[in-house]
């Protein structure tokens, strides 16, 4: 079972991520990023993608939040497994 301090840290990160995501959408939803702006200024059209990412952020708040949570959980699980492995190796020595 995960310790309480880790659960509190996870909850705090998720709340900060959710609030930050709303702020991100408020200020950037209607504005192109740097590459899109330069392409528009030079009359270059975006071509077909070569590869589609398995975790697409999409264009809505909900899909972005869900995919961000999935990404966060994947990274958290990998780091947790790594630190447990390192801790297990140190305790054997």
pLDDT of residue 78 exceeding 90, the answer is: yes
pLDDT of residue 37: 86
Residues in contact with 65: Cβ distance below 8 Å, sequence separation at least 6, in sequence order: 18, 21
Q: What is the mean pLDDT of residues 4-32?
A: 82
**8 Å CB contact between 46 and 35:** no
How many C-beta atoms surround the C-beta of residue 77 within 10 A?
Answer: 10
Output the pTM of the full model: 0.46
pLDDT of residue 42: 93
* Rounded (10°) angle between helices 61-92 and 4-28: 150
Q: What is residue 22's three-state secondary structure?
A: helix
């Amino acid at each position: 079972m995960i310790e309480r301090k880790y659960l509190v840290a996870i909850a705090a990160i998720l709340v900060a991520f959710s609030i930050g995501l709303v702020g991100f959408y408020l200020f950037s939803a209607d504005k192109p990023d740097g590459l899109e702006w330069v392409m528009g200024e030079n009359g270059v059209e975006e071509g077909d993608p070569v590869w589609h990412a398995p975790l697409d952020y999409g264009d809505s708040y909900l899909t972005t939040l869900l995919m961000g949570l999935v990404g966060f959980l994947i990274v958290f699980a990998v780091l947790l497994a790594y630190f447990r492995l390192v801790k297990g190796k140190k305790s054997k020595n």
